[in-house]
Structures are given as structure tokens and as C-alpha cells.
Amino acid sequence: MPAVTHIGLDIGSTSIRAVEATGSKDRPVISNFGQAMLPAGAMAAGVVKDPRAVTSALKQLWNSQDFKTKDVILGVSHQQVVVRDVEVSNLAPKELKQSLPFQVRDVLPMNADEAVLDFYPLEQGGNGDTIVGLLVAAPKRAVLDLVNAVEHAGLHVQNVDLSCFAALRAAALVADDTEAVIDVGAETTNLVIHIDGVPRIVRSIPRGGDEITRAIATRMGMPVGEAEALKRRVGLISGEGPEIAEVILEALRPFVGEIRSSLDYYRATGPREPVSRLALVGGGALLPGLIERLTGELGIPAYLSDPLQWINDSRRGGRHDVLGRFRSSAAVSIGLTLGAA
């Protein structure tokens, strides 16, 4: 039987990333990677604002890369995505899928008919009448708009998966303890607290790297592009540029406060094991000094995770290793392929 090829497609606020991986006996092997920039305003917090621009960027990406297939697994991220513990009737998968809208109608902050629903069991079904798991709900309109923009580019969406779960697969250090995976994007940061790879709490934080860039541009009176370059070079390293570092530190405080609030919420929900470490991925995680700042502020060791830890990449090494250089930003697209393996 020939090896199956999967493409994980992640459409963020500023760029598109696609990772092509082929199954093997041990772990998937990456065979191709491509990325394309999006025009400003084409996407906003997971919502398609300019479908033509998104479709055009996807066409250009596929024309420029020698991808073997047009079938993709699409990552979805939206600030109205709901992930919460629920207890539902213990039914066969097909029956549970059909009955889920009626079982969870009272716990949804949106109309069940206007949501895409899924259920992630947190325990073995057994013979009990009910089963506990994570309810996943996303606004149907936003998901369909994204799928339509992708399929208008001549691609076929095989499956849709939550971007936060994809980041978890790629970034998590699976051990017998509790970890928070934090995917820092341009406009949104997704936080997933998991125990041994099983998600327990998911939070979407409406803050990201662009907020810091805008703060620098406003305070220093400079173009956004120049502010972005300074952010990436200086970050929180005061020796590189004390004035810029101070602006970034001030802009970062609400972000750190949101992370702290999420950790406090987790601790308050019951007698659970405390979070042992923070695993960071995403383009915003590369801010110089961020790892050290989070460790100091929150009192929990933070580290930059390697999304290639669970996957082989025969093309790694050398100055042309694009994925190696952008691996943190590609965590979601890598994780999407892992979910299909």
C-alpha cells in the first residue's frame, strides 16, 4: 500500500503555511513546506474578511510549490470557539454525533444550529449511561467562509481541526504531569493546559505580537514595518535598545496578565496538579527575552518548544532550510499532519 500524504493548512492573520507530510512506519516524514503572506486585513482573528485575497494567496502558494495533492486538513481558530467539559449520553459515535446538538444546547453560548460541534472523550466509554469529555463548538458561518475561500482556490478540505489542538500535538512534551502549551500568534494567543497530552482547558486570548508592534510604532512615531523589525531584533533585551525594550515591556503586561489569569482559573477549578512548565510556539514566541520574562513573572519554567520533535524532516539542515527557520510559526500546520497520521 502506498504511503498516504497529508497537507496541514494553517491560515493565520498575516500569512498562510502549508506542511506536506507522508506517513511512515515510525513517524510522518515532511516532504514539502510553503508559506505565503496575506494582505493586511484579509484575515482577522480567524475570520475571513477578504475571501478573494485569501483564495489568491492560496493559488499562488500552490503554483509556487510542488505539492503532491490538493487535499488539505484545515486548521480553524476563532475567538468564539468554545471548548468545555460536558457530560453526555454514552452512545455509539454516529448516534452521539446526531444527538450532540440537543444534548449540549443549554451549555452553548450560541445557537446549536449555528455551530459546528465535536466531542472529545476524556475517559473510556465503558458501560455507564454517560461519558465525560470536551465539547468543541465553532461558529458555523466562520468555518464555512474559510472552507469556501480554500476550495475556491481549487483545493479540497478533507477535514477541519482546531488550531489549538494541532499546536498541542506538535508542541507538547508528553510526560506524566501538567503543561500549558501557548501558541502566540499575530492577533490571537491560544493556551491549552494538558495532562500527558490530554487537553483539560482551552483559552483563546485576543492578544498577540501585532499589539506590541503597534505600540512601538505609535510611541516611537515610525512605520509598522520598521517597528516590527525593531521588535524582532531588540525584544525585551534592554542592552540592545533600552527605550524600545521599555515600550515592549509595557505593551506585554496585559498579555502576561491574561496568561496568569488562565493559570489561576485552572488552579481554581479543582484540586488539580499545578502546571509544571509553559511550552511556547508561534511567531510571537520568538520575541527576544519573552521566555525569561514569563518564567520570572509567573514562577513557572517556560521554554521554546520544537514542533518538529514528533516528525521527521529529511530536508533539514543548511541555509536553505526554510521550515527549520520557521518551525515555531509552522507548529499548527505540522500538528495538523500529525492528527491525520
> Which three three-digit cell numbers place residue 190?
491560544
Residue 144 near residue 173, CB atoms below 8 Å: no
Q: For 25-43, write each residue's pLDDT tens digit.
A: 677 888 899 999 999 899 9
Residues of the chain with CATH 3.30.1490.300: 82-139
CATH annotation of 82-139: 3.30.1490.300
Task: Give the span between the Cα atoms of 112 and 282, in whole angstroms.
Answer: 31
Class of 204-302 in CATH: alpha beta
Task: Give the span between the Cα atoms of 121 and 206, in whole angstroms.
Answer: 27
> Which three three-digit cell numbers place residue 320?
536553505
**What pLDDT is attached to residue 319?**
47
Q: For 80-110, write each residue's pLDDT tens digit.
A: 888 888 899 988 888 998 999 899 888 888 8
- The whole-chain average pLDDT of the chain stands at 89
Q: How would you class 20 by CB atoms within 10 Å of its CB: exposed for 0-12, middle for 13-18, buried for 19 or more? A: buried
Q: For 224-266, write each residue's pLDDT tens digit.
A: 999 999 999 999 987 777 899 999 999 999 999 999 999 999 9
Helix (H) or strand (E) holding 131: strand 130-139
**What pLDDT is attached to residue 241?**
74
Provide the CB-side half-sphere exposure for 242 (13 A, CA): 1
Helix axes 140-151, 51-64, angle to 10 degrees: 40
Residues of the chain with CATH 3.30.420.40: 5-77+140-172+306-340, 204-302
Sign of the alpha-carbon torsion through 241, 246, 247, 253: positive
Q: For 266-316, write each residue's pLDDT tens digit.
A: 998 866 789 999 999 999 999 999 999 999 999 999 999 999 988 876 555
Among 2-16, 52-66, 119-133, 153-167, the least confident range: 119-133
Considering the domain delimited by 5-77+140-172+306-340, tell me its CATH architecture.
2-Layer Sandwich (3.30)
